[in-house]
Amino acid sequence: MEIAGTATLITGASRGLGEALALELGRQGARLVLVSRSRPALEPVLQRIRAAGGIAHALEADLGSKDDIYPLSGAATALVGPIDLLIHNASDLGPTPLRLLLDTECEDFERVLAVNLLGPFRLSRVIAGSMALRQRGTIVHLSSDASVNAYSHWGAYAVSKAALDHLSRIWATELGERGVRSFSVDPGEMDTQMHAAALPDADPKTLARPENVAAQIAALIRASATANGGRFQVSSPGAEA
């Protein structure tokens, strides 16, 4: 998919990989709607994109809340037109330090599923119908290697990401014939605030830079060879990549 001029919505865009994706896609000419729970947190990202001549708008929404979904999609399409590129990047780890399942409160588990799984379902549900009608659209789901490996302590988050991967595949199966592509990406371990919250002892030097990962995800979005329904791992995660 051509990125220049494409109406794009990125959730969780105020920091980490979401911020890096916003800057990368903004540089490539996407017309962006950036989403976060807090507008002030989005301001610095907006300013950087606009200063570089990019087009970006900021909207506040809690992806875990059904009532926030139509206000988000309505405001976003009013600002940039029907969304052609939807990037589900926002994630909730649940309480940190991460806990064993037996120590996980039911409400915390539900909240993680609400943000990481139900939010992407609901948002795709209200945006992908127009994509299917127009026969144009790409949906990207940010996954994790915790979705395929049963790490201790990562329960709620890992379960949500495993389900998100499968959600992505089913969108691909159901919408592929209508020209809508869906895939998921495991970005690897990155030097982000979220990674520090989950694994505070990790050495940042061993972690990938979000901007490098963002450039590789942008390449997956552009490439027509990117398989519909695929799950991709970003390569060369070293800090020097």
- For other proteins, the binding residues (CB under 8 A) are 33, 39, 57-60, 66-67, 69-71, 73-75, 77-79, 81-83, 125-127, 129-130, 132-134, 177-178
| Angstrom distance (rounded) from CA 162 to CA 117 | 9
Minimum CB distance to other proteins smaller for 33 or for 85: 33
| Planar angle of CA 53, 45, 241, nearest 5 degrees | 90
Minimum CB distance to other proteins smaller for 127 or for 208: 127
Minimum CB distance to other proteins smaller for 36 or for 143: 36
CB of 132 to other proteins, least distance (A): 7
- Identify the sign of the CA torsion 19, 24, 26, 32: negative
CB of 46 to other proteins, least distance (A): 9
Minimum CB distance to other proteins smaller for 143 or for 228: 228
Q: Output the CA–CA distances (angstroms, integers) from residue 145 to 148, 154, 186, 204, 219, in the order listed.
A: 6, 11, 6, 18, 20
Strand 180-186 relative to strand 137-142, pairing: parallel
User: Residue 7 forms beta bridges with which residues?
Assistant: 31
CB of 200 to other proteins, least distance (A): 35
CB of 162 to other proteins, least distance (A): 26
